[in-house]
Amino acid sequence: MDKDYMLNYENTFKDFEEGEIIEGTIINIKDDYVFVDIGYKSEGIVPLNEFKSECNIGDKIKVMFLGKQDLNGFQILSKAKADRILGFNAINQAFKEGKPVKGIIKASIKGGFLVDVDGFVAFLPGSLVDLSKKRNFDYYIGKEYEFKVINIDEQKKNVILSRKQLLEEIADKKRSDLIDKIKVGDIVTGKVKNIVDYGVFVDLGGVDGFVHITDISWKKILNPREVLKPQDEIKAKVMRIEEKDDKKRIFLSIKHLSADPWEETKIKEGDIVEGKISNIVDYGVFIELEEGIEGLVHNSEISWVKFPKEAKEELSIGQTIKAKVLMVDTLKKKIALSIKRLEPEPWSDIKEKFHVGDVVEGVITGIKDFGVFVKIDEGIEGLIHTNELSWSPEERPSLTISQKIKAKIIDINLEKKKIALSLRQLEPDPWSLIEGKYKVGDVIEGVVTGVKDFGVFVKIEKGVESLVPKSELNNITVNKDEKVKIKIIRLEIPRRKMISRLM
């Protein structure tokens, strides 16, 4: 064999430098080694355990040329070292381009995980493994994910990954894309995510929408939890989209999936309606007449007879009740109702029933400092003023609630709907009985009933008293219930007045 032939043969082989990454073809797999043709004078060998997956004869692989031979003259190659360099380069390129990388979480270590990215082992902090980290780290071992490269130290060949940040960016992109697609007027489907006192947050598939409590139902709702619960699937209409601080907020309505009942109601003034009491408040009673339509019975329209508090004690939430429609305002969504006007107004025929001078019988309904209330007919009460209880203040009768009594009507005021009654006028006025019995100059005996700064009152007969002015006491001190003699110095029976001097 001549020298030129040998020289040409030598030139068919490549020269490699130590640490160079080269491509070769698998030509044999024997025992624990893989034999690789790298176009060199001798074949190369790679330990079989450096292959992460099955390899076959004919496969092309990349390896690192180590510049060493084994005892049999084979070139020692390393697939693991090549993979590490290639993996790092791929990661570095992805980092520069802002692209994610794929990797398999191999093991958990203190503070996080080791991730194999194409043969390069990167670090994944435990806090960045997921949006909501699972307590058991073993859950993630062996799983393949995409990661965002957040830091690279090229000198030390260290790489830090984050799956959480990538998931957040994906969610943000998905959310942004979804929001861009959603338009006002769209009908959307979602799941109830969170319930608060003032409304409901709905997950529309990566973006949240909000339903205010007033937009849940046309019917008045006091608490959203009355009708919805977490994970309920709902449909809603997009009412408006607001942008604030570079974020879009979607406002939804469930009730607007159906027509506004106020626009379709046939309730009109004068109708007799029936409904259930939905709420009782200080100023009246709300009655649900139709789905989403309530009317208010003001306190003044509950009863002709009873005080509001007393009348409302007979009513309860959920009770079915009838009422008369007084007013309908569909624009303001208000209906005024009356319970009492289902019955005739008790005062409408008062002129035919009662007259001044009539003696009537009734039941005491109230006792106040200023007098006594007496029910004389359904919805009709009269007042006996304190002065009309007795001709003698000292002999007023003892009265009790629910007691039946007779009284005389002394005044009827239709305008103010008031009737004045009297107990004392059931008997003659004692002053009318003493005319001719006493005259000026008479000396009579009586009992002191009251001692005042300006004088002393002396009882002469039942219902008849005389005043002894301070100037007529003659500097004599008297006490209540004391018997005294007096002299009449002035007598005016029509004015029910008798002035005397102490003797």
6, pLDDT greater than 50: no
Bridge partners (DSSP) of residue 483 are: 447
5, pLDDT greater than 50: no
- pLDDT at residue 11, as a whole number: 44
What tokens appear for 50 in the block?
């450096």
- pLDDT at residue 443, as a whole number: 94
- Assign 388 to helix, strand or coil: helix
8, pLDDT greater than 80: no
Q: Please count the other Cβ atoms lying within 10 Å of the Cβ belonging to residue 66.
A: 16
Confidence of residue 14 (pLDDT cuts 50, 70, 90): low
Please, what is the average pLDDT of the chain?
Answer: 88
323, pLDDT greater than 90: yes
Task: Give the pLDDT confidence of 273-288 residue by residue, as tens digits.
Answer: 999 999 999 999 999 9
Q: Please count the other Cβ atoms lying within 10 Å of the Cβ belonging to residue 300.
A: 11
- pLDDT at residue 488, as a whole number: 93
Dihedral, 482, 487, 491, 493 alpha carbons, nearest 10: 40
119, pLDDT greater than 50: yes
410 or 131: which carries more pLDDT confidence? Answer: 410
Closest CA to 292 of 253, 342, 322: 253
Which class would CATH give 182-257?
Answer: mainly beta
1, pLDDT greater than 60: no
Task: Give the pLDDT confidence of 248-276 residue by residue, as tens digits.
Answer: 789 999 999 998 899 889 999 999 999 99
Q: What is the mean pLDDT of residues 130-141?
A: 81
Rounded to two decimals, what is the model's pTM? 0.49
Percent of the chain clearing pLDDT 90 (strictly above): 50
Confidence of residue 235 (pLDDT cuts 50, 70, 90): very high
Task: Give the pLDDT confidence of 428-486 residue by residue, as tens digits.
Answer: 888 888 888 999 999 999 999 989 999 999 999 888 999 999 999 988 899 999 999 99
Amino acid at 248: K
Task: Give the pLDDT confidence of 148-192 residue by residue, as tens digits.
Answer: 999 998 888 889 999 999 998 888 888 778 888 889 999 999 999
9, pLDDT greater than 80: no
59, pLDDT greater than 80: yes
Decide if 182-257 and 346-426 have a common fold. Answer: yes
Q: Are 159 and 120 in contact (CB under 8 A)?
A: yes
Amino acid at 416: K
Break the chain into its structural domains and give their ranges.
3-82, 182-257, 261-342, 346-426, 435-502
Q: What is the mean pLDDT of residues 334-345?
A: 92
Which class would CATH give 435-502?
Answer: mainly beta
Give the highest mean pLDDT range of 18-27, 341-350, 397-406: 397-406
15 or 484: which carries more pLDDT confidence? Answer: 484
Whole-angstrom distance, CA of residue 195 vs CA of residue 191? 11
Q: Are 473 and 502 in contact (CB under 8 A)?
A: yes
Closest CA to 362 of 293, 294, 408: 408
- pLDDT at residue 12, as a whole number: 45
Which class would CATH give 3-82?
Answer: mainly beta
Considering the domain delimited by 261-342, tell me its CATH architecture. Beta Barrel (2.40)
Whole-angstrom distance, CA of residue 321 vs CA of residue 273? 8
CATH of domain 346-426: 2.40.50.140
